[in-house]
Amino acid sequence: MPDITAVFLRWMGMRAVLHRGYWLVASLYLIVDAQLSAFQLVFLGIAQGIIALVTEVPAGVVADTISRKWAIVISHALIGLSMVVTGLVTAFPALVATQMLWGVGWTFVSGADVAWVTDELARPDRIAAVLTARARWEQLGAVGGLVGFGLLALAIGRGAAMVVAGVAMIVLGEYVVVRFTEHGFVPTRVRRWQRSAAILRGGVTLARRDREILAVLAATFLINGAAAGYGRLYAKRLVELGLPDQSNPILWFTALGIGMYAVGALALRIVEARIDGVGVARRVYAAACGIGVLGLIALVSAPGYLAGSAGVLLVSGIGMTVTSAVGEIWVNRRTTSDVRATVQSFLAQVEYGGEILCGLALGAVAQFTTITVTFACAAALIAGAGVLVVRSRTSDP
């Protein structure tokens, strides 16, 4: 038997290298090579969210019914293909299609990965720490991806580097095939449609009746709505604030990304040692929201790119990173094994819902006002998420 925790964390680290390195290059590719407008950048996220919203829960039910492991393998194939094609095209309709393919691929892994390691490890006393370590490994892997793919993009070009990342993502799916066991999960072999419907009903019932899960779902909706505007536009804001013309902007964004993930890894290391304490999840979540708001205020009011970059470190490194990890742990703790991937899919689904609904609104704000006003609206959404969590009146997790 392999060490389940080690296999899982290594996979997370390798996936983060490819995922984050790819998105570093893609963020500049979409601005510089494809020359997309602010609204088009936001619309890519909205299109991705729409298709993911439709396929998220069915993909979660597949993972709870047929296989968590093979759902992850399918995800690698679809995401890798999306990355390859994105690096080969610049037309806006084609880029919309590749991002929608990415969205479908991501639905197969969101929820399935957490459900797989929870049931395969079979250690309820360890899983919160493992999931926090997972988020930390993701941050550390992201640093390697930023350095590696930043240098690769300089050497062979942004499009070619994205193609390399996509091929490697498909190959990483073979690691899942070889190293992931599936002894803690019993697939449904008869009456799969009936069983799938029962799993979906059970997940809906649990999510509707558990007030803590509802609070996390609502807060996640708002935070990801803010991320839809902020995440697609902060690079453009930093360019407006005056990145040095004499240096390649990818060098600065690589350094910023390294700092972002280093700050996130440190924050998660602190959380990891305390996450099992009574009421810690609620307090940490609310504090991360507050830090995210402060970061957006700093980005909005920054006199130059250095101060703006400090704001990005607070928003992405602490605010978004910690709320995502703690929300996932919080929901997982209150979910039963038979509907675990499905309920985690609900969490991902509200993420996409926030990106679509709030993203449309923030995209319109960006188109008809300024990026500064868009960031102010995003800060209000994050603050609202913090208020929701603080005012939740159920027993502390």
**In the prediction, which pLDDT does 247 show?**
55
Phi-psi region of 122 (alpha: psi -120 to 50; beta: other; left: phi over 0): left
Q: Is 370 left (phi over 0), alpha (psi -120 to 50) or beta?
A: beta
Residue of 216, 208, 206 whose CA lies nearest to 324: 216
The single-letter code of the amino acid at 145 is G
318: its two tokens: 């602490």
As given in the structure block, the two tokens for residue 225 are: 């709505």
Whole-Å CA distances, 34 to 80, 83, 258, 322? 20, 15, 25, 32
C-alpha to C-alpha distance for 300 and 201, rounded to whole angstroms: 44
CA 181 to chain centroid: 25
Taking the model in full, what pTM does it have? 0.71
What is residue 395's predicted lDDT score, i.e. its pLDDT?
A: 47
Instruction: Show the domains of the chain with their CATH numbers.
Output: 4-182+190-390 (1.20.1250.20)
Structural contact between residues 319 and 292, judged by C-beta atoms closer than 8 angstroms: yes
Encode the chain (397 residues) as per-residue pLDDT tens digits.
458 999 999 999 999 999 989 988 998 899 888 888 878 887 887 788 788 878 877 887 777 788 889 999 999 999 999 999 999 999 999 999 999 999 899 889 887 888 899 888 888 778 888 888 888 898 889 888 888 998 899 899 999 999 999 999 999 999 999 999 888 777 766 555 566 666 667 767 777 777 788 888 889 999 988 887 787 788 878 878 887 655 567 777 778 878 887 888 888 888 877 776 667 888 899 999 999 999 999 988 888 888 888 999 999 889 988 998 888 888 887 777 767 777 777 777 788 778 778 877 887 888 788 888 888 899 999 999 999 888 876 544 4
What are the b/e assignments for 346-362, b being 16+ CB within 10 Å? bbbbbbbbbbbbbbbbb
pLDDT digits (tens, 9 = 90+) for 253-312: 778 878 887 888 888 888 877 776 667 888 899 999 999 999 999 988 888 888 888 999
For 188, other C-beta atoms within 10 Å of its C-beta total 15
- Contact yes or no for 145/21 (Cβ under 8 A): yes
